[in-house]
Amino acid sequence: MINPHYGNIPPSYLFSEVAARVSAYQDAHPDERVLRLGIGDVTRPLAPAVVDALHDAVAEQASGESFRGYGPEQGYAFLRDAIVAGEYAPIGTAIAADEIFVGDGSKTDTAGVQELFAADATIAVSDPVYPVYVDSNALAGRLGEFVDGRWEQLTYLECTAENGYVPALPEAPVDLVYLCSPNNPTGTSLSRADLERWVAWARENNAIILFDVAYRAFVTDPTVPRSIYEIEGADEVAIEFGSFSKTAGFTGLRCSWTVVPKALTRDGASLHAMWSRRHATKFNGTPYIVQRGAEAVYSEAGREQVQADIDYYLRNAGLIRDALRGAGIDTVGGVDSPYVWFRCPAGLDSWAFFDVLLNEAQVVGTPGVGFGPAGEDHFRLSAFGTYEDTLEAVARISSLVPTLHSTTLIRSES
């Protein structure tokens, strides 16, 4: 009767464990000011253009003539058209509006997409990676047993300093590969050449790439692809996931999109038709007022306001990156991404460094091991705090790191 696979997964979700440890610390130290550079929630308010659109949509709901109830499960045409015009037309990709499905968050979408595939489909993920890709497949029973921090039937594509944090192609065939660019948690991006290799591999191996672009708006390098569909032939091998959460501060409103090209078929079945059927069965659509808010992101005023917030967070990322490097810690990310990734100082593992950072500096980050085995001795800091909090946090970290090295040296000599 009960799904046995729930018994196989670790009992606590990464960010839940982070929250629990922070809560316990604050209960024990109520007078301490804790600065949060951990979970990737935003702090900037919604853009004024978005707020105006929300108000207008609420007013529509107050009139019988303009009231909206159930909307199209796939999303209102006005938002799907806006996504095409705002996200895909500018980069020269021929994505049609009816290939876009509006959702309530890319976490939901990337967790749900595995339902399109057979129970024995084989999975590969870049490691480290966003935990939902792995956990959703574990709950579906595809990954076997969780032993010594690894899933027995999952292919890990390690991303390390040695390979530039770029996942290598699988050595053995797999059916599905989850990729994220810019990557969460490392903050690194896949180049055009990288994506060309992946698309060619997928076409040769009849595999499907599940490509998460939740952080595409943070890309500043003009040579970094914003979509996998910039690569020829990707529409036959890839599903893409986008989000307004970090782009426009919709972490509380919830709005996302999934692109399932009509050209993507397997075993004689259209994945576009399958996702449409699944969407209609399990989802009644993102609220009308939220979709109107998302549409406003692409207005002239909305673009300027949203970009100002992205620049704000990227400035924070630069502060974090420069402070860590000034303390002698090599980092990646923080340029085309709001995340900075680094090896824990003083030889600490990631949870040990989490505890030291919280207890000694009252700063919260995210342990790298929560993103996969390759993150065991790494750590992620987020740029989504306020500028003032970020300044104070990096000052605390800069003061702490030399102390850590000294303490470790004394312990080793004794």
Q: What percent of the chain has pLDDT over 90?
A: 90
pLDDT in the model for residue 405: 65
Q: Where are the beta strands (DSSP E) in 293-414?
A: 331-333, 339-343, 363-364, 366-367, 378-382
pLDDT at 410 over 50: no
DSSP 79-130: HHHHHIIIIIGGGT----GGGEEEES-HHHHHHHGGGGS-TT--EEEEES--
pLDDT digits (tens, 9 = 90+) for 125-161: 999 999 999 999 999 999 999 998 899 999 999 999 9
Q: State how far the Cα of 73 lies from the Cα of 276, in Å rounded to an integer.
A: 8
Whether the CA torsion 367, 373, 377, 381 is positive or negative: it is negative
pLDDT at 14 over 90: no
Q: Tell the burial category of 398 from Cβ atoms under 10 Å away from its Cβ (0-12, 13-18, 19+).
A: middle
**How does residue 406 score in pLDDT terms, banded at 50, 70 and 90?**
low
pLDDT digits (tens, 9 = 90+) for 267-298: 999 999 999 999 999 999 999 999 999 999 99
Q: What is the mean pLDDT of residues 49-58?
A: 98
pLDDT in the model for residue 414: 34
pLDDT at 99 over 90: yes
Length of the chain: 414
CB 261 within 8 A of CB 228: no
Q: Is 243 left (phi over 0), alpha (psi -120 to 50) or beta?
A: beta
Domains of the chain and any CATH numbers: 4-45+301-404 (3.90.1150.10), 49-299 (3.40.640.10)
pLDDT in the model for residue 234: 98
CB 70 within 8 A of CB 284: yes
pLDDT digits (tens, 9 = 90+) for 310-330: 999 999 999 999 999 999 999
pTM of this prediction? 0.95
Residue 91: how many other CB atoms lie within 10 Å: 13
pLDDT in the model for residue 7: 87
